[in-house]
Copies of this chain bind each other. A is one copy, B any other.
Amino acid sequence: MATGQARAKLLAAAVDDALEAGIADLSLRQIAEAIGTSHRMLLYHFGSRDGLLAAVTMAVEESERQRLFDSDESFTNARPLWDHLSDAALWPQERLFFEIYVRALRDRNRSDGFLDHVVDDWLEPIAARLVGAGIPPDVAAAHARLGLAVVRGLLLDLLATHDLEGTTRAFDLYVASVIATLRRRG
């Protein structure tokens, strides 16, 4: 398995293709054709089909983590965060994210700790921010967890129904009641 820049290019192309076509259902040859290379090349650079899928998984996890840090300033206000995440331009990303998520649920070993990070990595910074705002740590932890679930649950809804209006109303309701409750206490 190589590590050069040719590999990096292929990986980027593979992720890009996976956004549209998914990962699990395609053969090496189909993927190769879609991104303009040969299945031989994919095997050279990623060792095996599983190696490719693992690499794509890690890349998506990485970009997810990147999004986490990028959105640091948005955490202060929840609504802009939702407006950003619910944008249709991000749907392919989120679909792929859920696809990898569910795939990991089937076989924890195969996906190399994806599930260990997929929740916890998000909880900590959110909770830390809340603690910084004077919320007691245990309350903050529960709030972070609930907020993450609300966002992911509503994104699942949105991807299925495409009902941006309805899901946004539900999110606003969450902000109005839960976060208001939090402020009242904190």
Contact = CB atoms under 8 A, between A and B. Distances in A.
Contacts of A143: 170, 173
Interface of chain A: mostly helix, strand, loop or mixed? helix
A141 B169 CA distance: 9
B101 A95 contact: no
Interface in A127-186: 138-139, 141-143, 145-146, 148-154, 156-157, 159-161, 166-167, 169-174, 176-178, 180-182
B170 A101 contact: no
A144 B170 CA distance: 8
Contacts of A157: 119, 145, 148-149, 152
Contacts of A178: 173-174, 177-178
A105 B98 contact: yes
B149 A149 contact: yes
A64 interface: no
A115 interface: yes
A118 interface: yes
Nearest to A144: B170
Q: Which of A157, A166, A178 has most B Cβ within 10 Å?
A: A157
A102 interface: yes
A149 B154 contact: yes
Contacts of A156: 101, 149, 152-153, 156
Contact of A181 (B146, B171, B181): B181
A95 B99 contact: no
Given A98-B102, A180-B181, A115 B160 contact: yes
3 closest A-B pairs by CB:
A149-B153, A153-B153, A177-B181
